[in-house]
Amino acid sequence: MQNNDYLSTKNIPVEDRLIFALDVSGPDEAKQLVSQLGEAVHFYKVGLQLFMAGGYFELVRWLQDRGKKVFVDLKFFDVPQTVRSAVRELRKYGVSFATVHGNDSILRAAVEAKNGLAILAVTVLTSLDRADMEDLGFRADVRDVVLSRARRALEIGCDGIVSSGLEAADIRQELGDRLIIVTPGIRPVKNIDDQKRTVDVEEAFRNGADYIVIGRPIREPVDFATPRQAAESIQERIRTLFGK
């Protein structure tokens, strides 16, 4: 396989390919960080921590009012009717992506209610390795589980998946470019945290990712003075990779 075999050809603005994980303690801290990042970041993932902090959907509106795209990462997992109703309620906020976790009936319920909202099926969390999967009762290899879930997501009608960059090339080889691949666990520098199945920026995209999600390396940069400088550096790497 050549280095650029699976480089995304989807019509995505290059600056949108970086999604910043806005994992902070509350809306005030989030707004301060967004203001600091400025035009270096156009797409934000808002997850469980901010959901529990209060003011979640007010923050979503605040981001949109500033021209930002929003990825709601709440990993809906419940009985199908509840997931269907949750997705239906989420539609009115005009967000770009939402994550759903679970079996075929749960994914199908989300797809039936999406109406323009892109549904991303979670495959295997990037914080899990093979030993963790065995603890959860899975005897299959992580790659096999990811591929199985990607196939099901495509058949059911999900718009994309969340997958480690380590499995992205296998997904592209088998399923082509029919799914959006969003890849978290990106580590531009040596990995020192709880993410286990990680890749760097270039490897993720060359393996087939359409978007990458980065949080801590931007929020707490090692090699840069500010989060904005870290984000700008990553954006430059993406532009170089896509020839922009």
Amino acid residing at 167: E
How far apart CA 238 and CA 214 sit, in angstroms, is: 13
CA of 198: how far to CAs of 34, 161, 189, 215, in Å? Answer: 25, 16, 11, 13
Instruction: Please give the full DSSP string across 69-129, using - where no structure is assigned.
Output: EEEEEEEE-S-HHHHHHHHHHHGGG--SEEEE-S-HHHHHHHHHH-TTPEEEEE-S-TT--
The runs of H, that is alpha helices, within 207-241 are 216-219, 227-241
45 catalytic per annotation: no
238 CA to centre of own chain:
16
> Which is nearest to 123 in space by CA: 98, 105, 142, 95?
142
Residue 224 falls in which region: left (phi positive, over 0), alpha (psi -120 to 50) or beta: beta
> Which is nearest to 216 in space by CA: 239, 232, 195?
195
Which is catalytic among the residues 45, 75, 190, 196? 75
Catalytic residue annotation: 75
